[in-house]
Amino acid sequence: MLSKVIEKALNGQIRIEAESSQIYLAMACWAEVKGLEGVAGFMYDQSDEEREHMLKLVKFVNERGGHAHVSELKAPNVTFNSFKEMFEMLLKHEVFVSESINDLVHAALQERDYATHNFLQWYVAEQIEEEAVARTILDKINLIGDDKGGLYLFDRDIQQLTVST
């Protein structure tokens, strides 16, 4: 059974995952209208994954005697100055999500809620992977610089970087 404190904290994370899905959906749309189909496909996949992260939390909360809340979401940024800026925002957002997961793990330990602590380990591992992918992408973008041919190849190859979970 979840304590009220943990239920509230998990509901906060449900909202963050839902907002992540919206943020990446907006990035997918921007990439698509800019003609980078590969980047758009990658971002659509990221958006789907965030929804999966959200649903996993929703089911856990409901199964543990809590009530998962579907809340209003903050509108995401819909335009970017460059792909580099977009991916910098992605990395920044993932670091924010990792911090939020860390806070949750800390709260679970404080509440002596070992079931939630155990459940959250999947998210801890997932965040390590997602941050690593975002950093790899930014390294590649920095290598490409203003080279249009490089951007073309990057767009073609980015789908292979999709985090599979």
- Asked if 64 contacts 2 with a C-beta cutoff of 8 angstroms, the reply is yes
Of 10, 14, 18, 53, the one binding ligand OFO (CB under 6 A) is 53
- Asked if 23 contacts 76 with a C-beta cutoff of 8 angstroms, the reply is yes
Q: Check binding of 126 to ligand OFO (CB under 6 A).
A: yes
Question: In terms of CB distance, is 94 or 113 closer to ligand OFO?
Answer: 94
Question: In terms of CB distance, is 43 or 53 closer to ligand OFO?
Answer: 53
**Rounded Cα gap, residues 21 and 56, in angstroms:** 14
Tokens of 140: 């590649």
DSSP-derived 3-state class of residue 45? helix
Alpha helices in the chain (DSSP H): 4-33, 37-63, 83-110, 114-144, 148-157
Of 50, 58, 86, 104, the one binding ligand OFO (CB under 6 A) is 50
Question: In terms of CB distance, is 93 or 141 closer to ligand OFO?
Answer: 93
The amino acid present at 134, given as its one-letter code, is: A
Binding footprint of ligand OFO, residue count (CB under 6 A)? 9
Question: In terms of CB distance, is 94 or 155 closer to ligand OFO?
Answer: 94
- The site for ligand OFO (CB under 6 A) is made up of 17, 20, 50, 53, 94, 97, 123, 126, 130
